[in-house]
Every structure is written in C-alpha cells, then in structure tokens.
A and B are shown apart, each in its own frame.
Chain A
Amino acid sequence: EPEVTQTPSHQVTQMGQEVILRCVPISNHLYFYWYRQILGQKVEFLVSFYNNEISEKSEIFDDQFSVERPDGSNFTLKIRSTKLEDSAMYFCASAIGTDNTGELFFGEGSRLTVL
C-alpha cells in the first residue's frame, strides 16, 4: 500500500543550525503538508503546498521556515536557524486532492530535538 515516507526519523541539532526534513509523498497525490506536534500537544498545521507553491501557511510558519519540492518526488521542510521551541515531531502529509474527501495520509514523522 502506498505510504508517505519521511527522513530522518530523528534529528538532534544545536540551536541556530539549519535543518532539512525530507518527505516523499504518495506518488499520485497533489497536495502536500507539513504539520508539527510538540510533545503531548495537538497536531498543528504549518503549511500546505499545491501546484509548486505554498497555498496556505500558519502563523507558526515564519521566515525561518521554507518548503520546496525540488525534483517531483521529494517535499522538504527547511528550518533556517533552529530555536529550542522548534523541538517537536514534524509530520508530512499528502492528499490526492481530486476527490474532495479531505483525507490526508501522514508519514511516521521526524523528531527534531534542538539543544
């Protein structure tokens, strides 16, 4: 069964360093998302991406964040200069987008720990 895959599963970084989290969405899906979940809290929307551009972003997604779809299969989230409060699980998700179901399929997440 097709699935969303994410790498790395866990990344530890020093405050101020750049981090890139990678995702391979399901191949025929058209909408891509990044969500994050701080430990013990609810899942929060960061950004949605469609037709090679950002379609929506939340207030969390400030200038330190960027997304890219560099090659037609990968979808990356970059955090330019990490802060302690960026420590969270980051989930990539994709949706087929043509069936109006609103169903998102999630990867297993990348745990980011900022020291």
Chain B
Amino acid sequence: GQQLNQSPQSMFIQEGEDVSMNCTSSSIFNTWLWYKQEPGEGPVLLIALYKAGELTSNGRLTAQFGITRKDSFLNISASIPSDVGIYFCAGPLDSNYQLIWGAGTKLIIKP
C-alpha cells in the first residue's frame, strides 16, 4: 500500500540551528500536511500544502510541496526549545481524507 518515508528519524541539534526534514512517497499526493506532536498530546497541524511547487511559511517554519507531488520538506529556522517534539508528514489517501502518516522525525534540542 501507499506509505510515506520520512527522514531523518531523529535530530539532535543546538538551539539556534536550522532544521530540515523530508518526506517522500512512491505515489502522488494532492495535499501534504505537516503536524507536530508533543508528548501526551494530539498532532497539531502546522502547515498544509495544496499545489505542486508551493512554498508556504508559518513563522519560522517553511514547507514545500515537491514539483513531482511525491515529496515535501519542512524547514525550521533558528530553532528554539519549544520546537522539541515529533514532526509528522501526512497525506490524505482519498476523498474521505483518511490520512497516511510518515514515521515522524523526533527533534531534540541540546541545551
């Protein structure tokens, strides 16, 4: 079945560093979603991408929808301690909006 391959699995960075993570698929998606999950909480939508090539920002976060519609990346600039969490890419499988999920990128910020 369809799946999303997300990398890296985890990142250990210093505060202030930029972060980049990506997601690829063998299938085409019409929407890419990036969620953040903090411990004990539900995923929170960060950025939604709807068009191939689209580049969208949300504060220090920037995400792009790949031109082939099979990949997306998320960048975080100048990371701060509250950026810690697990970042998931997700895409709707069909018109029922059933999402399939990447395995997540765990972001850890070294003090």
* B40 CB contacts on chain A under 8 angstroms: 108-109, 111
A50-B96, A105-B45, A108-B41 are contacts. A42–B31 as well, Cβ < 8 Å? no
A51–B104 Cα gap in the complex (Å)?
A: 32
Interface size on B, residues (CB 8 A): 26
Q: Are A97 and B97 in contact (CB under 8 A)?
A: yes
Q: How many A-B residue pairs have CB under 8 A?
A: 66
Interface size on A, residues (CB 8 A): 26
A42-B88, A42-B101, A102-B31 are contacts. A109–B96 as well, Cβ < 8 Å? no
Closest chain-A Cβ to B94's Cβ sits at a distance in Å of 8
Q: A44-B101, A102-B92 are in contact. List 20 more A-B contacts (CB 8 A).
A: A33-B98, A42-B101, A42-B104, A43-B88, A43-B101, A45-B100, A56-B94, A101-B31, A101-B50, A102-B30, A102-B33, A102-B91, A102-B99, A104-B97, A104-B99, A106-B42, A107-B42, A108-B40, A108-B42, A111-B40
